[in-house]
Amino acid sequence: MPTSNCPECAAETRCGKYHVYVIQLKPAAAKVPRFKKANPGLDSARPCFYVGSTRHKPQCRLNQHKRFFAGHDSFECPCGKGKAARTRFFFNRGPRGRTRGNRFAGEFGMFLKSDIVADLNPLPTRALAEKLEQQLGEELRELGHGVWQG
C-alpha cells in the first residue's frame, strides 16, 4: 500500500528512489536569529518549514532528525529496500563530513506536510531531488513562509 509521501513506497519498505519532503516547524523556529536572517520576507502568520530530500522514506528521515538532535546514537530504519528494519548508528558522518540530522528539523520539527509534495515523489535521481528541494523552498519563501533547507 502506498504511503502518503510516495505512491511507490510501501509501509515496510522504500521504493529505492529519491523523495522531497517538508516538515512543519514549531513557531519558535522563527525566533532563532539564523532562521530570521535566512527568511527576511517571513510572514509571522504563516507556518515555517524544513525542506529536504532523501533516499529514505520521509517519515524515516524525520525520525532520524529527531533522534540525532535528542542525542541518541542510533535510530531504527524500517525502510530498507527489501530488507528488515535495522538499527543505524550516527557515529559515521555522511558525505562531505555532514552529520545525520539538522538542528531545525530535529529541535522544531512537528510533522510531515505530505500534501505539499504529494505530486512530486518519487524522483529518479538525487540531482533532480535536490533541484526540486531548492525550488520548493524558494516557492514557499515567496509565499511568506519561513524555510530552512537541508
pLDDT digits 0-9 by tens, 39-75: 998 998 999 999 999 888 888 888 888 877 777 666 7
Cα separation, 144 vs 150, in Å, equals 19
* Global model pTM greater than 0.75: yes
Give the start-to-end residue ranges of the domains of the chain: 19-149
- DSSP, collapsed to helix, strand or coil, labels residue 136 as helix
CB 112 within 8 A of CB 59: yes
* Number of neighbours of residue 112 by Cβ within 10 angstroms: 20
Grid coordinates given for 143: 509565499
3-state helix, strand, coil in the chain (%, to 5): 35, 20, 45
